Structure 1
Amino acid sequence: MADNENKQGNRIEESQTEEPTVESLIAGGIDEAKQEEIKAKFDREFAYRRLAGILSKIITVVAITWSCIQLYTAAFGVYPTTIQRGQHVGFALFLVFILYPMRKAIKGDKVPWYDYIFAAAGAYVAFYHILNYRDIIHRAGAYTQLDIIVSIVAVLLVLEATRRIAGPVLVTVASIFLLYAYLGPMFPGFLSHRGYSIQRIATYMWMSTEAILGIPIGVSSTFIFLFLVFATYLKKTGIGDWLTDLAMGVAGGSTGGPAKAAVIASASQGTISGSSVANTVGTGSVTIPLMKSIGYRPEFAAATEAAASTGGQLMPPVMGAAAFIMTEFTGLPYVTIALSAAIPAFLYFTGVFMMVHQEAKKTGLKGLSRDQLPNPFRLIKEKWFLALPIFVIVYLLVSGRTPMRAALFAIISAIAVSFIRRDTRMKLIEIVEGLEEGARSALPVVMACATAGIIVGIVTLTGLGVKFSTGILLLSGGNIYLAMMFTMFASIILGMGMPTTANYIVQATIAAPVLVELGIPVIAAHLFVFYFGIIADITPPVALAAFAGSGIAGSNPFKTGVEASKLAFAAYLVPYMFAMHPELVLVDWAPASLAFSLATALIGMYAIAMGVSGFANERIGPLTRLLLAAGGLMLIDPRMVTNVGGIAIVVVVYGLLYLRNKKRNAAASASS
């Protein structure tokens, strides 16, 4: 017994005298294989077959060919509309049926015979547009029997491929819309319409440019794909690890440092990854073990990373794929959308940062010592050039270049800067691999856009958009707050089972026009539905980013989801802020009004953070928490009376707490 005690004492003494570095804390933690396993468990995009042999080489050649075609059209101009979009869907269908099994639970990497048939059929129906391009145009709607058969098969293949890579929810919603088009007379009230034949529905879905080959695929087949290739090359340069180390070096030593570093790193990673789950696993493999090492509860550590990573899609300049589609729905240039999203993104991460800070202060968690952390100045000095491609793409977008051309030059710059240092230099094989990986990363986006296009097509065909708008207006009684609340719930619920891109397309088609009709500016309305579609990834009961984080932390998934939504509580209010204060999205703004709105938003969010966390330099009771939260909520309303009232409540309550704390400290000093 004495020997055991001596051994334990020696281990404690060693841990006190030898402080581990960041590298030693995460060494042997979450390796790449474990990361892939977690991503595959929570995101269908990563649950693909690991092929080998000749079939693997065929897939590589097809994927690289696809990327090369996209790069060619970026450099020399796009093909005619249906050819550009048709071949895009054809490549995606072929790759999805070979790479993704019919059921996620199916183990093994062998491709069954029926998937070869599906892949061949997918390529054929897509390239049917290329083979019969002129004839289809000349027929002008007088479709042949073969056109109808090809269209029916194409719709079914698109739905099945989407189910495999994005899950059943989006496919179910699209199928309901298809049934709505066919069974129109059977629907009650304002939803009723005359109905359409299967032939009419199928050909409208596939032969026209209003549905599957509509705007979403049009955007995907031009610049979304290129931005995904750009993101792939950024990862290959090692910028992700560099940004994480830099964030750790800057914030890791402050109160609750690793958690704050997670917020900063995930915000910066938003320029690279458009996936909440991938961002959570990538950054979280470093930050979550570090947070646990200084005393954060596993649920809180995972929730912090999930909440921060989810906001990555909001971060300009390279936001999620849905932001590119927003350019088509709003008619605004991408640079305008990126600038409009900047302040809401800042508010989102500020809200999460405030909650992390309050939790750290409440539980007395310190940061890591300086000798445990990377030196940020040395990191900047050694690898500053890794950020150059991001500045290149920002400059090109701001200077008026098209997103396609900006992405093309950004890809070239990402490869070029890697040659500045030997340890970042890409080999030829890595450059080729980037083309394959970029194509693979595009598959979920392409299929989400294709199936969302079905929904958009049905809305256009049946006039459902106007009917839905009328229904929401009647249900809300014209009350803008109720309309926003209904839209928020719809975006979050759909976002629990749909990719962000598809969710945005549906809401932009149906819900955003209602908000515009009620007086909310176009960009604010579209960012509103975009924002809440993203927030769904940390909203229980289906909080995929939180569940992925729990896989790393070893925490309870549902509790992690609750913790993540609590952390982002203030951030749930940000869309209401910019909807009611449109100057926050740079609509009709002036320096004075923007400064005032930003100040009230920050004060309100900090008050809510104190109220939700139950800490304001000391633990506070239920009544004080309620008053602080109420004061913060009042600051969302743009009316002067509510702003003044909210500031008054926050100042008085916080002032009283400050004076009480000061008096207590003075008494303690006097007694000592």
Structure 2
Amino acid sequence: MRDQSSTGRALSEEELQELVSSSDAGARNPVGPVGTFLAIVAIIWSVFQVILASPLAYVLLPGSIINNSRQVHLAFAIFLAFMAYPALKSSPRHYIPIQDWIMGLAGAFIAMYGYVFYEKVTASGGLADDVDKWFALAGLVLLFEGARRALGPAMAIIATIFLLYVFYGSSPVVPDVIRWGGASLKKAMSHMWITSEGVFGIALGVSTKFVFLFVLFGSLLDKAGAGNYFIKMAFGALGHLKGGPAKAAVVGSAATGLISGSSIANVVTTGTFTIPLMKRVGFTSEQAGAVEVASSVNGQIMPPVMGAAAFLMVEYVGISYVEVITHAFLPATISYIALVYIVHLEAVKRNMPVLGNRVVSMGRTIGGMAAFFVGFALLCYGVQYPVKAITAALPNSGLILSILVCAAYVGLLWFASKVPDLEPDDPNAEDLELPVVGEIYKAGLYYLLPIVVLVYFLMIEQKSPGLSAFWATTLLFVILLTQKPLKAIFRGENGTVERFKDGIVDLLQGLIDGARNMIGIGLATATAGVIVGTVTLTGVGQVMADLVEFLSGGNLILMLVMVGLLSLVLGMGLPTTANYIVVSSLMAGVVVELGAQSGLIVPLIAVHLFVFYFGIMADVTPPVGLASFAAAAVSGGDAIKTGFVAFFYSLRTVALPFVFIFNTDLLLIDVTWVQGIMVFITATIGILVFTAGTMGYFVARSRIYESLVLILVAFTLFRPGYFMDKIQPPFRTIAPTDLVQAVDEAKPGSELRVVVSGPDFISGQPKDTTLVLPIGDEPAGERMDALGLMTLVEGDTLVLEEPMFGTPYSETMQGYDFYGDEMVTVTAVKAPANQLPKELLFIPALLLLIGVYMLQRGRAPKEGVPA
């Protein structure tokens, strides 16, 4: 890729596919009996994961296999890593050297060690003996080598550094601030390989239970032809507008994000068509590549199928997947809206031509797309009512509903058979005819059925992500096997049997692709488990918290900047999932704790999304932004320049995490439906105004002061509370000794904020924490007991005693030394004040916006004249 970027040569289709496969699925693809064997192994892995997620898992699989499914999952991943990924660039691609067979088989066996020797391991209480420790060490070495091949050297190097810290953390060369007692080989290997604290921890469990099914779902959906359908629909809707190819690239990449969790694959899949068309209407090679990068990378944050890190949030934050995608929905949506606006402004500034000769109304286009998305959402939501009616009326409702879904599929397939199958267009054709939505939409409506099934089970039935993906994947099995023969029957064509065989081939290839795409994710989650295990074994997380707090000087914004930079730096060598695991394990709790000390209650999900956003930005950012290199390989532009332009286009992705940390309304936390709609409208206006401010163009080219005013307006729309708090304090102060009385007198459903000060249990240094006390409906006199807080008045001081174990604040307060010479006291009590609605500040903000519009209206360029 780097050689290409320096020569400015666009890669061929074959070279691009090799680029994707070497990055995501492995560059080695042997033919003959060995190739067949490896394909069978990949198919077996996919089938195993499908059965594991099914309701019949305990019928079809032994209980011991289910209980040790993480070991089986890792065994497949390690074996296929050594088979699919060559050791070096000079290693053979067409056959597998004997040493790779040995390492692959040994790695698979050691991954299954806990299953094979289950009785021996359990008899010792999960502690490694002298034999176990050497097997575990060999397993870690093989895991790191597999990760090096599949993910690059950074992941293996970072994991090795953490492992060395476990052994040599007591060495004099280790700085005092992070020094610890060290661990023996036996203790370390028990923790990392034998127990579920290290390699076989939460991250690998999520990869086993959830992520595989969603990756497989995407592979099968793409194999069915949905990717080409989504791209054609996007170009049919937007391709004829000014800057249309870029707008279509944004929407097409958002839709393709359902199919591919890989930003690199997304860039190549959609970019081979969109980038040449963007260049045709006036975008430079770097701009065209940057638009594709910015839109493809954001596919990982777009619900309902987000990147693998979203499923890890379910376990790390302790909320359901429905809640994760609910919180992520608004920032992701307005981020894509802003990107469409960015490319629109670029097109207007350069007065770019439109493609084709069809006149299309932008207003009607936007209205039509909005109507489609609203209609699709209403369909997903409304399906529950007939389903509930059928379930209540019929005993065998499951079978009846399955028949109805199949009937809907057959009906939509008959509808699709009335139009020709969609073929990929040539973006370099001299006379390019962009598709007409009214003519092509029929061809792939049935692709939406699996997505409807997935969203229904996730959002309405609220089943587990794994089970939801299972039912959607099962429907895709049916679609892949039957779509070609049924179309042939509906069209009266011959060759039904051959079409059915083609369907089998498509299904098997989809199973293979799904398994190969999971190799890197499986190894990433397993290797990241070593880092998480180090944190839990050594307690370095608390040390990191103290270190970061010292470096940031207790300033939350500075600390967030440091966390963002850490994510970007680590992301230069780590995939998004591994980057998220590492940074969130080290820093998420620190941000929450420091926020509480600063008086800001930061929800844990907000911090995890913050880390996630900056993790995906690492795929953009030079000098190692892999998605930018992939886009440059398609466009023939310079990879570094492409990365910098893509970063500029992604400024809203950088700004949004800071915004939702301080304004959790954007994450739809504790908002009503009406408030949610209001937040959506104001946030959309805010992100568009922010985009206009940073792009230097609104109605006309902006002067510097106009851009600054636009950014101020955007800030006000995003965080009106900042200015309202300056005008009217949000809290009134209550004497600490009156806390019990204030709690008893407060209205049920309200909250009090209490600042607690006292010595840190480890360092002895004083620290502060802000507690939010939710007032329940208990009678006066019992509310403090319900909160688990015990206090004692000594003169003008309110002493706080250690909360009892299991009470609401026992974990939050465990970092305090309640038995030292210095007492833990309540230093401030704050109750909500009667503050004017913060939304009133929208009025002056919108007046400023109108003022900028009036200033620029006279300078607006005329149609056909460059801006």
Query: Displacement of 1:631 after TM fit?
Result: 4.0
Specify the alignment match of 1:122 in structure 2: 107
Answer yes or no: is 1:384 the counterpart of 2:384: no
Query: Displacement of 1:277 after TM fit?
Result: 0.5
TM-score w.r.t. structure 1 length? 0.90
Provide the rounded CA distance (Å) in 1 between the counterparts of 2:343 and 2:660: 23
Specify the alignment match of 2:98 in structure 1: 113
* Conserved 8 A contact 1:388-1:417: no
Provide the rounded CA distance (Å) in 1 between the counterparts of 2:280 and 2:151: 35
Specify the alignment match of 2:52 in structure 1: 73
Provide the rounded CA distance (Å) in 2 between the counterparts of 1:394 and 1:536: 29
Provide the rounded CA distance (Å) in 2 between the counterparts of 1:656 and 1:461: 57
CA, structure 1 residues 270+665, in 2 after alignment: closer, same or farther (shift >3 Å)?
closer
Map residues 545-584 of structure 1 onto 2, 5 A cutoff: 545-584=627-666
Specify the alignment match of 1:361 in structure 2: 348
Specify the alignment match of 1:54 in structure 2: 33
Specify the alignment match of 1:450 in structure 2: 526
Specify the alignment match of 1:217 in structure 2: 204
Q: Which amino acid aligns with 1:131?
A: V
CA, structure 1 residues 646+507, in 2 after alignment: closer, same or farther (shift >3 Å)?
farther
SS in 2 for 1:185: coil
Aligned-pair identity (%):
36
Specify the alignment match of 1:260 in structure 2: 247
CA, structure 1 residues 638+157, in 2 after alignment: closer, same or farther (shift >3 Å)?
farther
Provide the rounded CA distance (Å) in 1 between the counterparts of 2:33 and 2:858: 74
Map residues 142-541 of structure 1 onto 2, 5 A cutoff: 142-186=127-171, 187-369=174-356, 372-398=433-459, 399-418=461-480, 419-420=482-483, 422=487, 427-517=503-593, 518=595, 519-541=601-623
Answer yes or no: is 1:629 the counterpart of 2:694: no
SS in 1 for 2:624: coil
Specify the alignment match of 1:36 in structure 2: 17
CA, structure 1 residues 305+647, in 2 after alignment: closer, same or farther (shift >3 Å)?
farther
Query: Displacement of 1:561 after TM fit?
Result: 0.6
Answer yes or no: is 1:45 the counterpart of 2:24: yes
Query: Displacement of 1:445 after TM fit?
Result: 0.3
SS in 2 for 1:111: coil
* Conserved 8 A contact 1:44-1:104: no
Provide the rounded CA distance (Å) in 1 between the counterparts of 2:557 and 2:124: 48
Q: Which amino acid aligns with 2:851?
A: G
- From the two aligned structures, give the one with the greater strand fraction: 2
Q: Which amino acid aligns with 1:662?
A: G
SS in 2 for 1:109: coil
Structure (1 or 2) with the larger CA radius of gyration: 2
* Conserved 8 A contact 1:541-1:558: yes
CA, structure 1 residues 620+138, in 2 after alignment: closer, same or farther (shift >3 Å)?
same
Q: Deviations over 1:503-554 (max 9, x none)?
A: 1111221111122222211211111111110111112222211111111111
CA, structure 1 residues 266+665, in 2 after alignment: closer, same or farther (shift >3 Å)?
closer
Specify the alignment match of 2:405 in structure 1: none
Query: Displacement of 1:434 after TM fit?
Result: 1.9
Query: Displacement of 1:479 after TM fit?
Result: 2.5
Provide the rounded CA distance (Å) in 2 between the counterparts of 1:489 and 1:636: 23
Query: Displacement of 1:664 after TM fit?
Result: 8.1
* Conserved 8 A contact 1:217-1:446: yes
* Conserved 8 A contact 1:577-1:601: no
Provide the rounded CA distance (Å) in 2 between the counterparts of 1:54 and 1:161: 23
SS in 1 for 2:170: helix
Answer yes or no: is 1:589 the counterpart of 2:671: yes
* Conserved 8 A contact 2:86-2:93: no
Q: Deviations over 1:335-354 (max 9, x none)?
A: 21112111111022122122
SS in 2 for 1:195: coil
Provide the rounded CA distance (Å) in 1 between the counterparts of 2:861 and 2:477: 58
Match of 1:658 among 854, 859, 864: 854
Name whichever of 390-399 and 567-576 sits farther off: 567-576
| Root mean square deviation, CA, Å | 2.4
Provide the rounded CA distance (Å) in 2 between the counterparts of 1:502 and 1:610: 34
Match of 1:608 among 687, 690, 700: 690
Q: Deviations over 1:2-51 (max 9, x none)?
A: xxxxxxxxxxxxxxxxxxxxxxxxxxx986423313425xx632442120
Provide the rounded CA distance (Å) in 2 between the counterparts of 1:124 and 1:665: 69
* Conserved 8 A contact 1:327-1:337: yes
Specify the alignment match of 1:8 in structure 2: none
Specify the alignment match of 1:89 in structure 2: 74
Query: Displacement of 1:110 after TM fit?
Result: 2.5
Q: Which amino acid aligns with 2:690?
A: I
Name whichever of 215-224 and 271-280 sits farther off: 215-224
Specify the alignment match of 2:741 in structure 1: none
CA, structure 1 residues 665+166, in 2 after alignment: closer, same or farther (shift >3 Å)?
closer
* Conserved 8 A contact 2:25-2:517: no
* Conserved 8 A contact 2:342-2:649: yes
Query: Displacement of 1:314 after TM fit?
Result: 0.7
Query: Displacement of 1:592 after TM fit?
Result: 4.9
* Conserved 8 A contact 1:257-1:366: no
Name whichever of 565-574 and 473-482 sits farther off: 473-482
Query: Displacement of 1:242 after TM fit?
Result: 0.3
CA, structure 1 residues 104+391, in 2 after alignment: closer, same or farther (shift >3 Å)?
farther
* Conserved 8 A contact 1:274-1:320: yes
SS in 1 for 2:690: helix
* Conserved 8 A contact 1:576-1:636: no
Name whichever of 577-586 and 244-253 sits farther off: 577-586
* Conserved 8 A contact 1:271-1:318: yes
Provide the rounded CA distance (Å) in 2 between the counterparts of 1:647 and 1:475: 40
Q: Deviations over 1:102-151 (max 9, x none)?
A: 12353532322211111121122122222111221111144322211110
- From the two aligned structures, give the one with the greater helix fraction: 1
Provide the rounded CA distance (Å) in 1 between the counterparts of 2:230 and 2:307: 19
Q: Which amino acid aligns with 2:104?
A: A
Q: Which amino acid aligns with 1:417?
A: I
* Conserved 8 A contact 2:127-2:190: no
Structure 2: which 5+ residue stretches go unaligned? 1-9, 359-432, 489-498, 596-600, 725-837, 863-867
Q: Deviations over 1:322-381 (max 9, x none)?
A: 111111111111121112111111022122122111111100113323653211122222
Name whichever of 140-149 and 222-231 sits farther off: 140-149
Name whichever of 80-89 and 576-585 sits farther off: 80-89
CA, structure 1 residues 597+401, in 2 after alignment: closer, same or farther (shift >3 Å)?
closer
Q: Deviations over 1:595-628 (max 9, x none)?
A: 4544443333223322322222222333433443
Q: Which amino acid aligns with 2:311?
A: F
CA, structure 1 residues 141+46, in 2 after alignment: closer, same or farther (shift >3 Å)?
closer
Provide the rounded CA distance (Å) in 1 between the counterparts of 2:194 and 2:570: 28
Provide the rounded CA distance (Å) in 2 between the counterparts of 1:401 and 1:623: 52
Provide the rounded CA distance (Å) in 2 between the counterparts of 1:142 and 1:511: 29
SS in 2 for 1:427: helix
Q: Which amino acid aligns with 1:77?
A: A
Query: Displacement of 1:178 after TM fit?
Result: 0.8
Q: Deviations over 1:218-260 (max 9, x none)?
A: 1111221111111111011100100000011111111210100
CA, structure 1 residues 401+148, in 2 after alignment: closer, same or farther (shift >3 Å)?
same
Equivalent residues, number:
636
Provide the rounded CA distance (Å) in 2 between the counterparts of 1:139 and 1:71: 33
